[in-house]
Structure 1
Amino acid sequence: MPRLESAEFAARYFRPRQPVVITDMATQWPACQRWSFDFFAQLDPDRAVTLEKGNVLQDETAFESARMADYLTGLTQAGHAVSGAEDEGTAKRYLSMLRIFEQFPQLRADVDFSLLEAMTLKQVYFAWLGPAGTLTGYHIDWIDNILAQISGRKRVWLVPPSASPAMYPSSKYDYRSTLSEVEPNTWDAKRHPLFATVRPVEITLEPGQMLFIPRGWWHRVMSLTPSISINAFGHDLSGLLLYQSRASLLHGLHQLGLYGREDCTCHKKTADSKRAK
């Protein structure tokens, strides 16, 4: 879909909860013209950032801290592409879920998520910066999502909500999400036999393209090249009432150690305790 007006987006995609690739709306964003690893490294070189290590959704939760400029300079120097399976699932360090406009509010004018903003009452925005081979495993977000590719390329696998039994929802806790137990590269047919029936839709996002991922759709994302992406999550009224209230309650219980603390994406196990991300 080259361009979308708000009314068409609402009628054909947002309300029916149907994904769509939008190919010609972000291409002229200032972000697509000037954002790069060097650009971000110079914004706040000494800022401490938290990096995911590997696929924390299906594998063990692991992360580390780094100086922002050191991490991003390393990506500039070491970037290479992957063909698909190469490097997939290895422990790449990933600057994920950077609350970009809270930390760099001056960048807000560089993007335009008005399509989603017109449909939702509350939004939150994240940037994703990393090398080729970063992998975010299968999961459902309880909130509608537009993912915009700024530079580099990403591959996305989409599975509809109707296939949820075959995706084997996990007990691992992740805020405002449901994770799958299944990672296709290490899939065990004896443990997860129904996964053999899953037929994901596979999409490659190019720079300047956006993908609408409705809440409830399973998705898995891998960077094919060094990549910068940004996404907007948005809740409409039903999302706020049905999903955000539940997410907030579970998060509060989790912080108190009463829910999901044995296995989660926000604490990693140490020798004798768990450490927060």
Structure 2
Amino acid sequence: MGKIKTVPIPRIKSISKEDFIENYFKKQKPVLIEDLAKDWPAYKKWNLDYIQSLAGDQIVPLYNNEPTKGRQNSVVPAKKMKLYDYIEILKTKPTDLRMFFYNVLQKMPELTKDFSYPDLGLKFFKKLPVMFFGGKGSKVLAHYDMDLADLVHFHFHGTKNVTLFAPDQSKYLYKVPFTVHNLEIIDMDNPDFDKYPALQLAEGMHVEMNHGEALYMPSGYWHYITYENGGFSITLRAFPRKAKQFTEFVTNIVFMRTFENVMRRIVGQSWVDNKETRMVKRVNEKFANNSL
């Protein structure tokens, strides 16, 4: 067992549009901006009680850390329950149940009055503000977003730890073929370097996010997240503009995910097991030969 090498993500109070574009967006470097949401009504209003008061009777899908098995699609909810009841769990006890990609415009449009799109020079896609919820102790599998968007991620109610990896670190992270995540059985907090030696070469960036803070995650960056207590976040995204990124985005959405789910339905668990086994063997052989 060991620890993956990380360095701190830069933490600043505020930033101008010009400085952000020049020092972070153009260089594709992460940064945490502490005061970006300080003027939002959400900064004072948003907590679990407030979201719960707006929940009504809506039913939401919830996910845990169990890998999907057999002929299931690659992303399948563990259960469904009322949002009100789920938030009650987040407020009162640890849980590995998480909710992701909760579309604010569709599910709780009144929240749009509480935030605005920051003037950072990014061309935000304003039809897709999405929220993420997690309980104390829950973990988000190391992955990157298949749409390759530049993300500004705001956290509320409590704290969570975020570890990022630049796209060039993918070769060390045991990325599962035809997915955008790494091997689900790897414990990223205490990885087994005997089984997964290439992780010793990975270099990540780490930050603890507190209420109201914003994290810029550049396009294609891997993120691994652990919730220190129950809380939630909202992500504003700017889709890729460069031809290469846009082509990969379309390929991921239209072909890769479809192919993965078709193979799962046709072949079943052996498809998953075989591709993961081959991937681990290939990465470990490259590590042994110093060719990573």
1:40 aligns with 2:51: yes
Contact 1:54-1:62 at 8 Å conserved across structures: no
Q: How does 1:127-276 map to 2 (within 5 A)?
A: 127-141=131-145, 142-171=148-177, 173=179, 178-181=180-183, 182-185=186-189, 187-238=191-242, 241-250=246-255, 254=258, 258-262=259-263
Shift of 1:166: 0.7
Residue 82 of structure 2 is matched in structure 1 by 67
Instruction: Report the CA distance shift for 1:49/1:219 in structure 2 as closer, same or farther (over 3 A).
Output: same
Letter in 1 for 2:166: P
How many pairs were matched up? 246
The 3 A distance-change label for structure 1 pair 7 and 263 is farther
Tell me, what secondary structure is at the counterpart of 2:235?
A: strand
User: How far does residue 60 in structure 1 lie from its aligned partner after superposition?
Assistant: 9.1
1:101 corresponds to which of 92, 97, 105: 105
The C-alpha deviation readout for 1:38-70, integer Å capped at 9, x for no partner, is 22222132101001112659x996521001111
CA shift digits 1:129-152 (9 cap, x unpaired) = 232111112112222111111211
Question: Structure 1 residues 184, 77: CA separation in 2 closer, same or farther (over 3 Å shift)?
Answer: closer
CA distance in 2, matches of 1:7, 1:136: 32
1:105-138 Cα deviation digits (max 9, x unpaired): 221121233245x422635221112321111121
**Aligned counterparts of 2:255 and 2:90: Cα–Cα separation in 1:** 36
**Cα distance in structure 2, aligned partners of 1:244 and 1:197:** 27
- Which letter maps to 2:247? L
- 1:249 is displaced (CA, Å) by 1.8
Structure 1 letter corresponding to 2:123: T
- Would you say the 8 A contact 1:27–1:207 is kept in 2? no
Query: 2:167 & 2:16 partners in 1: Cα distance?
Result: 26
SS at match of 2:123: coil
1:214 deviates by 0.5
Rg comparison, structure with higher value: 2
Q: Show CA shifts across 1:155-194 (max 9, x none).
A: 0112222222111211253xxxx21224325634344221
3-state SS in 2 of match to 1:71: helix
Distance 1:95 1:106, change over 3 A: same
Task: In structure 2, give the amino acid aligned to 1:180.
Answer: N
Q: Which structure 1 residue ranges, 5 or more long, are not aligned?
A: 80-90, 271-277
**Structure 2: 5+ residue runs without aligned partners?**
1-11, 69-73, 270-292
Partner residue, 2:125: 122
Counterpart secondary structure, 1:70: helix
2:286 maps to what in 1? Answer: none
**Distance across 2 between alignment mates of 1:50 and 1:3:** 36
Kept after mapping to 1: 8 A contact 2:151/2:238: yes
Q: How much identity, in percent, do the aligned residues show?
A: 19
1:18-33 aligned within 5 A: 18-33=29-44
Equivalent of 2:21 in 10, 24, 36: 10
Distance 1:214 1:55 in 2: 28
For residue 222 of structure 1, give the secondary structure of its aligned residue in structure 2.
strand
